[in-house]
Amino acid sequence: MALPIVTSIAPTTGPTGGGTIVTITGVDLTGAIAVGFGSSDATNIAVASDTQVIAVAPPGSSVANVTVVTPGGRSAINAAAQFSYAAPTTTSSGAPYFIDPALTSTIVGTLVNVLNSSTSPDALQAQNILMRRLALEGDVIGSRVPPPRNITEIGGYMNMLADLKEGAMREQTLAGILGVAGPTQAQGFISTTTPLSMVAIANDRPAGAAQPSIPTNVWIRSDFVSSVQAAVKALHAQGATLPLTGPSVLTLPAGGPGATMPANVLFYLGRTLNLAPQAALAVPGTDPLALIRASGTTDPFTVAANAINPATNPVTPADYDALQCTTTTATTVPLAHASFAPLAPVLAAAGFYQSSPPPQPASSLDTSWATFNNITGLVAGETLLSDELLLLHQPSDIAASVFASLLNAVWNGTAFV
Give the pLDDT confidence of 203-248 residue by residue, as tens digits. 999 999 999 999 999 999 999 999 999 999 999 999 999 999 998 8
Write b or e for each residue in 75-110: b if 16 or more Cβ atoms lie within 10 A of its Cβ, otherwise e: beebeebbbebeeeeeeeeeeebbbeeeeebeebbe
Sheet with 45-49, edge to edge strand ranges: 5-10, 21-27, 52-56, 45-49
Q: CA nearest 286: which of 207, 390, 345? A: 207
Q: What is the CA radius of gyration of the chain?
A: 33
Q: CA nearest 101: which of 17, 1, 13? A: 17
Q: Would you list the DSSP string of 155-167?
A: HHHHHHHHHTT-H
Q: How many CB atoms lie within 10 A of CB 221?
A: 20
Chain-centroid distance, C-alpha 405: 17
Distances (CA, A) of 51 to 20, 24, 105, 141, 285: 20, 8, 24, 25, 75
Pairing of strands 82-86, 13-15: parallel
Angle of CA points 14, 19, 21, to nearest 5° = 75
Percentage of the chain modeled with pLDDT above 90 = 63
**Coil, helix or strand at residue 74:** strand
**How many residues comprise the chain?**
417
Amino acid 142: pLDDT: 52
Mean pLDDT of 348-372: 95
d(CA 306, CA 314): 11
Give the pLDDT confidence of 317-349 residue by residue, as tens digits. 999 999 999 999 999 999 999 999 999 999 999
d(CA 189, CA 182): 12
d(CA 273, CA 259): 25
Chain-centroid distance, C-alpha 350: 25
Quick check: 81 and 66 in contact, CB under 8 A?
A: yes
Burial grade of 124 (CB within 10 A; 0-12, 13-18, 19 or more) = exposed
Look up residue 6 and give its amino acid: V
pTM of the model: 0.58
Amino acid 174: pLDDT: 78
Q: Would you list the DSSP string of 269-331?
A: GT-EEEE-GGGSSS-TTTSSEEEEEETT--PPPEEEEE--S--SSPPPPEEEEEEEE-SS-EE
Give the pLDDT confidence of 166-205 residue by residue, as tens digits. 777 777 777 777 766 666 555 444 456 788 999 999 999 9
